């Protein structure tokens, strides 16, 4: 049985003016926009969009920022803000009274399906079709629809991956684009952009320890990415992006809970749970996963038919002891 526990604490900083991230902030930004003070709209919303607003407020903030960028002829930045908006709500429809340029941009991005934003290629937010790499994105919705039980099952279903299953201390080896090795050492595993490969061996231990209930999306880069991430990214990069704490909490609530309980063959039992909460300028997420399974019965093969408890009776001190009259 494994009991990993991932704890994330996010301090939501306030700017020097003590700005709060709520409806009041949005109302102030709306007034700035009506007065034509577009720079103030952007500066007042940037911090809250990154770490303060919930999904509903983020959508309105991205809308105001996109329209402000369009008003200052910053089309590329406006397109990025609109794409971020569509990433939160792919079915978003612009208001009839919004500027025609913004309405056209929303409709164009929806039709061309380029509202998908990635951060793994250049370490900054960019459109998936403009990123200088071959990349695949598996979203939270994809994970739910496909019914994956763990990260390894997800990678089994993605093109360009071969897996060897061991079901032991090393659960699986992941081979990307046909580059086989004794261990997963040429594919870089990241959690929210932080390297997870072993510091000494460079191995990536991809197991069943990552709670899927706390994964927002998985970004996969195919091919060398050593320029950005170093030699461990020779075959590619897997970046697991956790869910934003505020997105896991419904408006008006202070706590959000999501999880899965599963039971299957070989007496397999799984509990996958994430609890998110916020209090003033502090938010937190607790994620954990319980997994137990009898796995495959291999006792029909003599080599595997033994009682593991027999090794508890072995006197290792005697076997490894030092004797003066050793012969």
Give the pLDDT confidence of 77-133 residue by residue, as tens digits: 999 999 888 888 877 888 878 898 998 898 888 766 555 677 788 777 776 766 778
Residue 240 bridge partners (DSSP):
191, 218
Report the SS3 class of residue 70: helix
**H helices present in the chain, as ranges:** 23-34, 38-51, 55-71, 75-88, 100-112, 140-146, 151-156, 226-229, 316-319
Distances (CA, A) of 271 to 18, 213, 218: 41, 10, 21
**Are the C-beta atoms of 288 and 4 separated by less than 8 Å?**
yes
List, for the chain, all residue ranges whose pLDDT scores fall below the cut of 70: 1-19, 111-116, 127, 129-130, 323, 326-327
For domain 129-242, say whether CATH 3.30.450.40 is its number.
Answer: no
pLDDT of residue 189: 93
Q: Looking at domain 18-118, which CATH architecture does it have?
A: Alpha Horseshoe (1.25)
Per-residue model confidence (pLDDT) at position 166: 79
As annotated, the residues of the chain forming the CATH 1.25.40 domain(s) are 18-118
Beta strands per DSSP E along the chain = 5-11, 117-118, 126-127, 134-139, 161-165, 172-176, 187-191, 194-195, 215-222, 236-242, 255-264, 268-279, 282-292
- Alpha-carbon span 221 to 198, nearest angstrom: 20
Q: Which two tokens stand for residue 243?
A: 């869910």
């Amino acid at each position: 049985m494994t009991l990993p526990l991932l704890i994330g604490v996010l301090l939501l900083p306030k700017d020097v003016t003590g700005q709060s991230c709520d409806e009041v902030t949005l109302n102030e930004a709306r007034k700035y926009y009506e007065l034509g003070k577009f720079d103030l709209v952007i500066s007042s919303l940037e911090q809250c969009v990154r770490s303060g607003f919930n999904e509903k407020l983020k959508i309105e903030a991205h809308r105001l920022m996109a329209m402000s960028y369009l008003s200052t002829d910053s089309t590329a930045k406006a397109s990025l803000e609109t794409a971020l908006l569509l990433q939160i709500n792919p079915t978003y429809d612009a208001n009839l009274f919004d500027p025609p340029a913004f309405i056209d941009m929303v409709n164009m991005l929806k039709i061309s399906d380029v509202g998908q934003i990635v951060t793994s290629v250049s370490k900054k937010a960019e459109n998936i079709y403009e990123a200088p790499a071959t990349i695949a994105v598996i979203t939270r919705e994809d994970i739910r629809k496909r019914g994956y039980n763990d990260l390894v099952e997800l990678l089994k279903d993605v093109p360009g991956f071969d897996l060897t299953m061991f079901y032991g201390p090393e659960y699986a080896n992941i081979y990307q684009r046909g580059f086989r090795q004794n261990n997963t050492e040429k594919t870089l595993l990241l959690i929210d952009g932080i390297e997870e490969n072993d510091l000494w061996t460079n191995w990536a231990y991809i197991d069943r320890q990552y709670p899927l209930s706390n994964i927002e999306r998985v970004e996969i880069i195919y091919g060398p990415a050593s320029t950005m991430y170093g030699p461990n990214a020779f075959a590619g990069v897997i970046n697991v992006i956790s869910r934003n704490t505020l997105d896991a909490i419904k408006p008006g609530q202070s706590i959000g809970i999501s999880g899965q309980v599963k039971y299957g063959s070989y007496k397999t039992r799984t509990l996958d749970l994430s609890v998110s909460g916020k209090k003033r300028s502090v938010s937190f997420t607790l994620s954990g996963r319980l997994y137990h399974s009898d796995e495959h019965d291999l006792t029909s093969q003599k080599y595997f038919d033994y009682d593991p408890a027999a090794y508890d009776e072995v006197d290792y001190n005697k076997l490894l002891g030092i004797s003066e009259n050793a012969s």
